[in-house]
Structure 1
Amino acid sequence: MQNPVRKLVIAGGGTAGWMAASLLRKTLPKHIHIRLVESEEIGIVGVGEATIPPIQTFNQFLGIDEKAFLKETHATIKLAISFENWRVPGEKYLHTFGAPGAQLGFSGFHHYWMRGKKEGLTDASLWDYDLNALCCDLGKFNKINTQNPMFDMQYAYHFDSALYGKFLRKVAEQLGVVRTEGMIEHVRQDTDTGFITALQLKSGEVIEGDLFIDCTGTRALLSQKTLGVNYEDWSHWLPADSALAVPSKRFESTLPYTRSIAHKVGWQWRIPLTHRNGNGIVYSSQYMSDDEAHNTLMGNLDSEALDTPRKISFRTGRTEQQWHKNVVSIGLSSGFLEPLESTSIHLIQSGIVRLMKMFPNHGVQQSIVDLYNAESKHEFETIRDFIILHYHVNERDDSDFWRDMRAMSIPERLKQKIEAFRTTSAIFNENNDIFRDASWVQVMMGQGITPVDYHPSADLPDAATLKQTLSKIYDAKRQPLEKMLAHDEFLTRYTGA
């Protein structure tokens, strides 16, 4: 057992560092001193410009005014991700934050819809029953003040992650976090326990701590370089190891969703902000050269580039122990999963929330460390499997990359999940899986998996009743559209910008 935690030191700033600093300062009593060390000399990766809905909970807990946040980070609304060319070139589908249809009984809506399609009771697609998808098609958004789950429209944000970090820095410092500017030159350890005791800066200043959070990015200065934590490599499942990122001019009309456009090797993102578009290409150097990736990205921009592309190299995987001794890894120091499903910032958030729930008030206890690591491992693995799903279930035949992804061996848990859906339409979710039934259904169907059967409870209503029910839901989902605003108009009215 270590000494009681009275000095909490965060190594590194950026989005991860300032998210950790702000949330923990808001949560922990004042006798626990929180200090963040960062250097302006070190750049920020900053590709995480798209999020998922739990970011709203994070901001609300901090008391952040949504209008001010949207303005200061040049944010837009995100209702979904549009996956283009993933099954075959020329085809696309949406993975929305909504849930198609409504709860009709024991089984999910897609079972009733499948029966309806089979018996000719509806010719509508699954996404025709999804309010998020309808708003994406029209480029519209507005807040809906109702408790009726039929009109629930979950949303997240696109924002400039560098500006979000600066925004949170102001929040954290107002709450009492102390920031120290400086480059870490040496990490001191206890010779008996191996626990980190202090950070020594180039200036000579020594910053002592009881608990340290490693937010030093892929350098993983504390966890990997100092404590020697091993890294579990997942590149055999997700071989992409490179990305090029470049900003471009914004469109006159800002779409309320992210675009993910598959190419012969890898995929390209397009993220709309109010002052520019974020673009990038994720690819595997085994299958594509940097020059070819550069030409693919620049040749497929929707607007004029504002800079030259910036190269980012990575290795997909995770640290085997995201909490080791008295160091907790948050953000890229804990692992890397490509931003296909916008999970990077969420993994920061969930890691901090997990630490907050398990905070070692009276010193580091191995039982808590083990629980933290078990939950973190499971969460990383479920997200990993969801990303693999997109690649593995494809029908493209235009490159070795896609053929190899289709032929590769996949994790057993994902294999079982796919087979269960393919045969019975069933979705079996696990604890710590951030993607719920509707997400798995949309991606599996979007990637071309057509289930053989549906749940027998969908046969309970007679054909006339089911047809009428599907028709009512179809019409109900369209009722709010009249009051929806064009996305840009909503942002202007709401923020006053």
Structure 2
Amino acid sequence: MQNALKSICIVGGGTAGWMAATLLSSALRGSNIQITVVESPDIATIGVGESTVPSMMDFIQASQINLKEFIQATSATFKLGIRFDDWLTQGESYFHPFGKVGKDINGFEFYQAWLKSLADGEKSRWLDFSPSAIMAENERFMLRPAKHDNWVLSSYAHALHLDAVKVAHYLRDLCHKRGVTRIEATVKNVNLDEKDFIKSVELDNDTSLTSDFFIDCTGFHGLLIEKSLQVGFEDWSHYLPCNRAVAVQTEQVNNPVPYTIATAQKAGWSWSIPLQHRVGNGYVFASQFCSDEQAIETLLKQIKGKMLNEPRVIPFTTGRRKKIWHNNCLALGLAGGFLEPLESTAIHLVYKSLVHFIKHFPDSDFDAYNEQAFNDNINTDYQEIRDFIILHYCTSGRDDSDFWQWCQTMPVPKSLNEKIHTFRERGQLDHTLGQFFTNDSWCSILEGMKIRPKKYHPLLDAFHQQDLTNTLTKNINDIRATVKQMPNHHEYIQTHCQARN
């Protein structure tokens, strides 16, 4: 094609940079577009984005990666959801499972049928109908067989816990085999042309690099998108006040469970991410309610096993660039924006940004409407995830610290307020095409926070009560019978994909 791009330069390695190189090297195969990654030897990866969501499996498939090899190389374990401890009140837990919950009945969402059953006196839990939740409770796991006729096996979903540094190394080696060029250098200057497009980057090895398109993976710094192109940043700290994290790694002393644990603390929340060879631990907190020293002390009191590194404090600002794609530059990962890691969406947003970019892939004419369509799509994704994270805070019943008292009257976006109101009234959640978090995910958080609708859908009164009871009982029995046949999560990993040292 006459106006086709000939080259893409990715500035920055790490998880985002090498995910971009990997997916693009697969998607652009045969296009003759040269992909180059400029990776500084001096800048360490943040290395804490180690819990993922099910779209990670889509990335692996789309990138034509061998799953078994990837798990072995990254010390990965499987993840069926997130267990939230102490969020509603201290001592209470709930679970956000991946995949479907229940089977839709006669065209109605399962949640509505379940509400009707409760009104009729049934005592089942919402999570009794989630294959992923029952698998997690019993620490069972297996990859879905290629051929099956079991609705339970079709309903669960999973992601991975992984070592972010090992992920970057694995993807870098894979990209090398695919012909991606790696230059070990640091960008010291960015040159723009008269139209404010990036013309070239000057490196600290006294060379410069020109390219048709640039992908900024320089982290919070945003060397290209912000320092050079000055697109601006939309700060969401007024909605999400947590602005720092302290992270530490510990030895694995127990068999890894197939879920992440997020525990509410006095000034935020802490995570526990079990890998095959170690556990990732961290505390995300708001500095106006907690000092670094207090956060470190809180984290170190709750960890198990020997520390493998010194605690590291990572400051961040929640929000996103006002334009994630501008002219011939795409911001990816932390360079594009950051939503605190409560629902493990950082790597998802890297993948989703790349999917949108490939869909709107430019030629050298750089049509402004195409760029705007991309930005509209990714902005919608950021806003949806932002609202879903805020949901965890604004619905909490805790008031035992200054932080949680602030959450009692925190500002809530209009988009989220309307969603919660509609749910409270009728148990309905309008699903937008392309939305990442399903209605089942929203229901799981709201149910965990004991927010129950006043009514169910009126047409469900036409259902025969005993037939509905029989259907739900069969669902529960099907799930438990299927899960009972699955191997233990740890034993499954040991047998099929044990990490290579």
> 8 Å contact 2:7–2:35 — kept in the other structure?
yes
Q: Report what 1:155 is aligned to.
A: 158
> 8 Å contact 1:106–1:457 — kept in the other structure?
no
Cα shift readout 1:380-417 (whole Å, capped 9, x = no counterpart): 00000000000110110101211211212211010010
Q: Report what 1:128 is aligned to.
A: 128
Give the 5 Å matches for 1:312-461: 312-461=314-463
Q: Please report how far the alpha carbon of residue 144 of structure 1 lies from its aligned counterpart in structure 2 after TM superposition.
A: 3.5
Q: Please report how far the alpha carbon of residue 357 of structure 1 lies from its aligned counterpart in structure 2 after TM superposition.
A: 1.2
Cα shift readout 1:151-175 (whole Å, capped 9, x = no counterpart): 3221110000111111111111111
Counterpart of 2:94 in 1: which secondary structure?
Answer: strand
Q: Report what 2:91 is aligned to.
A: 90
Cα shift readout 1:87-136 (whole Å, capped 9, x = no counterpart): 1111010000022211112221111111212221x212110111111111
> 8 Å contact 2:220–2:335 — kept in the other structure?
yes
- C-alpha distance in 1 between matches for 2:236 and 2:174: 36
Q: What TM-score, normalized to structure 2?
A: 0.96
Q: Please report how far the alpha carbon of residue 209 of structure 1 lies from its aligned counterpart in structure 2 after TM superposition.
A: 0.7
Q: 1:471 aligns with which of 470, 473, 477?
A: 473
> 8 Å contact 1:11–1:215 — kept in the other structure?
yes
Q: Which moved more, 1:303-312 or 1:7-16?
A: 303-312
- C-alpha distance in 1 between matches for 2:350 and 2:192: 26
> 8 Å contact 2:272–2:280 — kept in the other structure?
yes
* Structure 2 segments unaligned to the other structure (5+ residues): none
Counterpart of 1:228 in 2: which secondary structure?
Answer: coil
> 8 Å contact 2:342–2:389 — kept in the other structure?
yes
Counterpart of 1:140 in 2: which secondary structure?
Answer: coil
- C-alpha distance in 2 between matches for 1:112 and 1:49: 36
> 8 Å contact 2:78–2:160 — kept in the other structure?
yes
Counterpart of 1:277 in 2: which secondary structure?
Answer: strand
> 8 Å contact 1:142–1:483 — kept in the other structure?
no
> 8 Å contact 1:78–1:155 — kept in the other structure?
yes
Q: Please report how far the alpha carbon of residue 279 of structure 1 lies from its aligned counterpart in structure 2 after TM superposition.
A: 0.3
> 8 Å contact 2:152–2:482 — kept in the other structure?
no
Q: What TM-score, normalized to structure 1?
A: 0.97
Counterpart of 2:37 in 1: which secondary structure?
Answer: strand
- C-alpha distance in 2 between matches for 1:431 and 1:414: 17
Counterpart of 2:440 in 1: which secondary structure?
Answer: helix
Counterpart of 2:281 in 1: which secondary structure?
Answer: strand
- C-alpha distance in 2 between matches for 1:426 and 1:155: 25
> 8 Å contact 2:282–2:299 — kept in the other structure?
yes
Q: Please report how far the alpha carbon of residue 249 of structure 1 lies from its aligned counterpart in structure 2 after TM superposition.
A: 1.2
Q: What letter corresponds to residue 144 of structure 2 in structure 1?
A: I
Q: Which moved more, 1:435-444 or 1:448-457?
A: 448-457
Counterpart of 2:334 in 1: which secondary structure?
Answer: helix
Q: Report what 1:70 is aligned to.
A: 71
Q: Please report how far the alpha carbon of residue 451 of structure 1 lies from its aligned counterpart in structure 2 after TM superposition.
A: 0.9
Counterpart of 1:224 in 2: which secondary structure?
Answer: helix
Q: What letter corresponds to residue 171 of structure 1 in structure 2?
A: L
- C-alpha distance in 2 between matches for 1:64 and 1:71: 12
The percentage of counterpart residues that share the same residue type is 38
- C-alpha distance in 1 between matches for 2:372 and 2:483: 48
Q: What letter corresponds to residue 369 of structure 2 in structure 1?
A: S
> 8 Å contact 2:11–2:17 — kept in the other structure?
yes
> 8 Å contact 1:3–1:210 — kept in the other structure?
no
- C-alpha distance in 2 between matches for 1:33 and 1:307: 38
CA-based RMSD of the aligned residues comes to: 1.4
- C-alpha distance in 2 between matches for 1:78 and 1:95: 11
Q: What letter corresponds to residue 252 of structure 1 in structure 2?
A: N
Q: Report what 2:105 is aligned to.
A: 104
> 8 Å contact 1:331–1:347 — kept in the other structure?
yes
Q: 1:164 aligns with which of 160, 163, 167?
A: 167
> 8 Å contact 2:234–2:320 — kept in the other structure?
yes
> 8 Å contact 1:10–1:37 — kept in the other structure?
yes
- C-alpha distance in 2 between matches for 1:452 and 1:369: 43
Counterpart of 1:262 in 2: which secondary structure?
Answer: strand
Give the 5 Å matches for 1:269-348: 269-348=271-350
Cα shift readout 1:263-309 (whole Å, capped 9, x = no counterpart): 11100000000000000000000111111111111111133322221
- C-alpha distance in 2 between matches for 1:244 and 1:407: 26
Q: What letter corresponds to residue 138 of structure 1 in structure 2?
A: N
> 8 Å contact 1:213–1:327 — kept in the other structure?
yes
Q: Which moved more, 1:443-452 or 1:76-85?
A: 443-452
Q: Report what 2:183 is aligned to.
A: 180
> 8 Å contact 1:102–1:150 — kept in the other structure?
no
Counterpart of 1:141 in 2: which secondary structure?
Answer: coil
> 8 Å contact 1:100–1:127 — kept in the other structure?
yes
